[in-house]
Chain A
Amino acid sequence: MTVIGWLQIILFCVIVVALTKPLGWYMTRVFGGDPTFLSPVLRPIEAGIYWISGVDEKREQHWLTYTVAMLLFHVGGFLIIYGVMRLQAVLPFNPAGQGAVAEDLSFNTAVSFITNTNWQNYGGESTLSYLTQMVGLTHQNFLSAATGIVLAVALIRGFARASARTVGNFWVDVTRCTLYILLPICIVYTLFLVWQGMPQTLGAYVEATTLEGAKQTIAVGPVASQVAIKMLGTNGGGFFNANAAHPFENPTALSNFVQMLSIFALGAALTNVFGRMVGNQRQGWAILAVMGLLFIAGVGVCYWAEANGTSAMHALGLTGGNMEGKEVRFGIVASSLFAVITTAASCGAVNAMHDSFTALGGMIPLINMQLGEIIVGGVGAGMYGMLLFVVLAIFVAGLMVGRTPEYVGKKIEAREVKMAMLAILVLPLMILGWTAVGVVYPAAVASMANAGPHGFTEVLYAFTSGTANNGSAFAGLTGNTFFYNLTLASAMFVGRFFMIVPAMAIAGSLAAKKSIPPSMGTFPTTGGLFVGLVVGVILIMGGLTFFPALALGPIVEHLAMNAGNLF
C-alpha cells in the first residue's frame, strides 16, 4: 500500500460526498414534479410520451398498481431483448455478421438485463450485433436503472407521506427519471468518454497489420453511449468481454476514475433525496455514514490483500502486488478500489479479473454482495435494500427498550418487519441453495476453471452475483451452459422481484399510517448510536448467514496459500 494509493481513495470519497447534496436536490425536484432548468427542452417530449401512451400524469397509483405496472413494463422489456437477440442475424447494424443468439443464452441475457444484473454469459464483441447492443442492451440499461430509482422513491414516499393511499405514478416516475436524470448526464458523459479514447462508431471491425506483420482484428462499435449508462445506472454489462478492463471500454486513469464516481453518484444522492423527502437531511447523512463505514473497511482489506500479492509470487521474489489479471494503467489501487465499488453498488462492471484476486481480496466483493449490496448499492436497489435493514435495526432497538419502534415519524409494526425479513431471506435461499446444487451436479462441476477451494468460490460467486443482481463474475467459470443459463436466470429473477414486491408492500403500508411527532422516548436516528446499530445488524445478518460458506471458499484458500499448497 502506498500514500499515493490512499490519496486516490480519499479523493474518490470526498468527491462522492460533495456530489451527494446537489444531485439529491435535483433528483428531489424531478420526482416532486417541479420544473428544472431542462424543462423548456424536455417538457414537450415528456408530455408527448404521456399523450401517445394514454397516461394521466395527475393520477397516482396504489402500491399494488404501481408494482403491477412495473412488472408489466418488464415483461415488455424482456420480450424486446429476447426478440432482438434471436433475430439479430436478419436485422440491420450487424457488420460483423453475428448469427442468432442461442435460446438459453438469450433467455439468460434478457433476464439479466431486465433485473439490472447484466451478468455476461455472452461475449460482447464475439456474440452480439450493434443493434442488439443498442436496442437490446443500452435501452434496458436505462429502463432497469430508472425502475430501481423510482421504486426507491416510491418507498421513500411511503415514509414521507401520512394517511395516504398512493405512492406515485410509475409511468410518470420512469419517464421523468429517464428524461431528466439519466439521459442528460449520459449525453455529456458519452462525449467525455469518447474524448478519452472510447470508440463510438457503427463501422465494421478494423483489420490491422501489426508492426511484426501479424493480422489483428480490432473490435469497435457504439461503445461510449452504452458505457455511460452502464456505469451511471449501475448496470455493468460490458460492451466487450473483458468489460471495463478492455482499453476501449476504459482507456485512461481519468476515464477509470470518472467511471468509479458515476457508479456511486446516483445511489449516494438517493440518501439525500430520502433526507429531503422526510424533512430532515441528517436522516440521509446517517444512512450514508453507515454505507461509508462498511465501504472503507472493505477497501482497506482488499487493497491490502492485493498489494501483498500471493505466496507463489513471493517465492519467486516478485514484488509489486498481485498483477495477474490487472491492467498496468490502473495498477493495484485503482483495481482494488474498482472491485469494491462495483460490488458495493450492484454495478458488476470489472476493470480487473476478480477470479485472479488473492483469496482475501476476492472475498471482499463476495461479502459486499452477500450483505445485499446496500453499501450505496444499485441505483435505487441499494436504497430500498438499506431501508429494509434500517427497519430491522429499528425493530431490534425497539425490542431492547420495550417500545413500539418508530422511524422518521412512522411506527414500525409486525407487517413491516415480516416483509423486510421476507426480502432479506431471499438472498441466502438463492445463493446457498443453488451453490449447493452447483457443487454436486456433474454438468455444473465441469464448469469450474480452478481446482480446490477456488473452484467452490467460483460457483458461490456466480450465484451471489446473480441473486444480488450484481453481474460481476469469477469469470473462469464457464457460465454459458444450459445449467447455468437457467439457474442463474432464476437467481437473478427471484433476487430482484422477491425483494421489490415486499419493499413495495412496506411502502404501501407505511404511506397509509399517520405520522407521529417525535417525543422524549423516540430513538434518535441521526446519530452515531443509530449508525453503529445499523452496521451491527447488517454484519450480524450477513456474517452469520454466509460465514460457513466463506470459510469453505476464500478463507480456507487463504490458509492453504500461506501453507504453500497449490491445486
Chain B
Amino acid sequence: MLREIRPAIVLLLALTAITGLAYPLAMTAIAGTLFPVQAQGSLIEKDGKVIGSALIGQEFKDDKYFHGRLSATLAPDPNDSTKTVSAPYNAANSGGSNLGPTSKALADRLKEDVDKLRGENPNAAVPVDLVTTSASGLDPDISPDAAQFQVPRVAKARNLPEDQVKQLVTANTEGRLLGLLGEPRVNVLALNLALDRRAAK
C-alpha cells in the first residue's frame, strides 16, 4: 500500500496542473483569438461606452422601452451586510425566486401583476412570461406574444404608429433553431436599441 503514496501526491499534482491550469489557460488564449467578442462576454458598446451584454438582460422601466421579464436577483443590503435586498437584473449575483407552486407570495404577486397589465392592454391575453420571474434573473428574452402585448404602450409613449412598432418586433423575433430547437423569442435589449435607432432617424 505504501507505494501508492507517491502517485497519490505526484500524479495528482501533475493532473491538477494539466486540467486546472494548462487547460483553462490554453483555452482562454485560443478562444480569445478565435472568438474575441464572445470570449469577453458579447459586450455592446455605444459611443465608446459599454452599455451591456447582448446575452444579459437589463432592467427597463420606462414606458417608451419594451420591458423584460421579472427578475428576482438580490444584492447585499447597503445598511446591513448580513441581509439582502431586491436588485433586479444584478448580473453579479444571478438567481431565481424559488417560490413553489402553492406559495401564497407567488399567487399574490401574479395577481397584482396580471391586474396591472390588464389595465395597460385590456385587448390581449396576458402572456405568462411577463408575470413570472426567470430562472437566472437575467433572461435577455421575452416571448413574441409578450413583445406584441406591449406594442400599444410603447407606440403611445413614442408617438409612433403601432404598425411600425409591430414591424420592429417581428424583425427582432428569432425563431426556433432549424424550426425545432428552443422557443421563439425577442431579445429585449436588441429590440430597444432598434427602437432608439428608429427614433433617431
Contact A208 B102 (CB under 8 A): no
Is the C-beta of A520 less than 8 angstroms from some C-beta in chain B?
no
Complex: A160 Cα to B37 Cα, angstroms: 50
Of listed B25, B43, B181, residue having the most chain A CB within 10 A? B181
Is the C-beta of A543 less than 8 angstroms from some C-beta in chain B?
no
Min distance, Cβ B179 to any Cβ of chain A, angstroms:
8
Q: How large is the interface on B (under 10, 10 to 19, 20 to 34, 35 or more residues)?
A: 35 or more
Is the C-beta of A385 less than 8 angstroms from some C-beta in chain B?
no
Q: In B8-43, which residues have CB < 8 Å from any A CB? A: 8-12, 14-16, 18-21, 23-25, 27-28, 30-32, 34-35, 38-43
Residues of A within 8 A of B56 (CB): 216, 218, 247-248
Residues of B within 8 A of A256 (CB): 181-182
Stretch among A135-143, A431-439, A497-505 lining the B interface: A135-143
Q: In A164-181, which residues have CB < 8 Å from any B CB? A: 171, 174-175, 178-179
Given known contacts A49-B14, A191-B34, A207-B50, A252 and B102 CB-to-CB distance under 8 angstroms: no
Residues of B within 8 A of A138 (CB): 19-20, 23-24
Stretch among A18-26, A222-230, A272-280, A289-297 lining the B interface: A222-230
In the complex formed, the residue of B with least CB distance to A61 is B4
Given known contacts A200-B39, A226-B24, A318-B126, A327 and B103 CB-to-CB distance under 8 angstroms: no
Q: Mark B78-111, 1 if CB is under 8 A from A, else 0.
A: 0000000000011111111111111110110011
In the complex formed, the residue of B with least CB distance to A45 is B18
Complex: A78 Cα to B89 Cα, angstroms: 35
Residues of A within 8 A of B142 (CB): 328
Stretch among A103-111, A237-245, A396-404, A421-429 lining the B interface: A237-245
Given known contacts A4-B180, A210-B58, A241-B95, A316 and B189 CB-to-CB distance under 8 angstroms: no
Residues of A within 8 A of B199 (CB): none
Contact A123 B192 (CB under 8 A): no
Stretch among A27-35, A50-58, A488-496, A508-516 lining the B interface: A50-58
Contact B4 A65 (CB under 8 A): yes
In the complex formed, the residue of B with least CB distance to A563 is B102
Q: Mark B35-73, 1 if CB is under 8 A from A, else 0.
A: 100111111000001111111111111100100010000
5 extra interface residue pairs, beta carbon distance < 8 Å, beyond A76-B9, A218-B43, A566-B102: A69-B4, A141-B19, A240-B94, A241-B95, A327-B135
27 contacts between A and B (CB under 8 A): A68-B1, A72-B4, A142-B15, A142-B19, A143-B12, A143-B15, A186-B23, A197-B55, A200-B32, A212-B61, A216-B58, A216-B91, A224-B31, A246-B94, A247-B136, A253-B182, A254-B181, A316-B126, A317-B114, A318-B128, A328-B69, A351-B135, A355-B99, A356-B99, A450-B103, A454-B101, A475-B95
